Amino acid sequence: MRSRDDKKQEALYLATIKLVNEIGFSASSVAKIAREAGVSPATLYIYFKNKEDLLVSTYLEIKEEMGRALLAGFDEGLPVHDLLHRVWCNTFAYVSENLAEFRYTEQFANSPYSELVDKTRVRAHFEPLLRVIQQGIDRKIIKDVDPDILTAFLFHPIMVLANPKHCSSFKPSGENIEIAFRMAWDALRL
């Protein structure tokens, strides 16, 4: 049995992201992904059971990385506003700097493959943020509505503004990012 090589696994993730973004899920065959990664198709099966496993694992890997990036510098002792502002700025930076990964997650979330993901596993990467949102509700700082609604109003603007395919004329200056955060905060706060 051949041993695992983290570099090959990373190459498979990167090849999957690139090809799915360029040609879609259906056209991204195991052979094409392996070729793009510079490995044989048989090597792919050392790391993943099949194409579905590779696609789901790539999504989970990105979500884990995204969770770490969003929560960088996270301190639950800070006021809710300040924490959400930090997460906002971290999210904007992550999406802007990792557009290929972000586009993959967008496509994945709107595909049948998303049904194969253990949502609690993804949620675990963002649990500190969800606790702060609940604290904000409990302390009557932010609106007492379904947390999914709150996170949509907090994060969807970033997903649109940071993606040049959606907002090609948006300039991600510090001032514009702050204006957008204030508008999102105004939607959340009591």
Q: What is the pLDDT of residues 140-188, one digit of tens each?
A: 999 999 988 998 999 899 888 988 888 888 888 889 999 999 999 999 9
- Using CB atoms within 10 Å of the CB of residue 99, give its burial: 0 to 12 exposed, 13 to 18 middle, 19+ buried: middle
Q: Tell me: do 10 and 72 sit in the same domain.
A: no
Q: Tell me: do 73 and 42 sit in the same domain.
A: no
**Which residues touch 61 (CB under 8 Å, ≥6 apart)?**
13
Least confident of 23-32, 112-121, 138-147, 151-160: 151-160
Residue 122 lies in a domain: yes
| Residue 36 belongs to domain spanning | 1-48
- Using CB atoms within 10 Å of the CB of residue 75, give its burial: 0 to 12 exposed, 13 to 18 middle, 19+ buried: exposed
Residue 142 backbone dihedrals phi, psi, to 5 degrees: -120, 165
Residue 156 lies in a domain: yes
Residue 36 lies in a domain: yes
pTM for this entry:
0.90
The model's pLDDT over 85-101, given as tens digits with 9 standing for 90+, comes to 999 999 989 998 999 99
Q: How confident is the model at residue 1 (pLDDT cuts 50, 70, 90)?
A: very low
Number of domains the chain is built from: 2
Q: Distance between CA atoms of 53 and 49, rounded to whole angstroms? A: 6
Q: Tell me: do 86 and 133 sit in the same domain.
A: yes
**Which residues touch 180 (CB under 8 Å, ≥6 apart)?**
157, 158, 161
Tell me: pLDDT of 47 over 50: yes
Q: Distance between CA atoms of 182 and 156, rounded to whole angstroms? A: 14
Name the nearest CA neighbour of 91 among 22, 142, 160, 169: 160
Q: Tell me: do 37 and 95 sit in the same domain.
A: no
Residue 57 lies in a domain: no
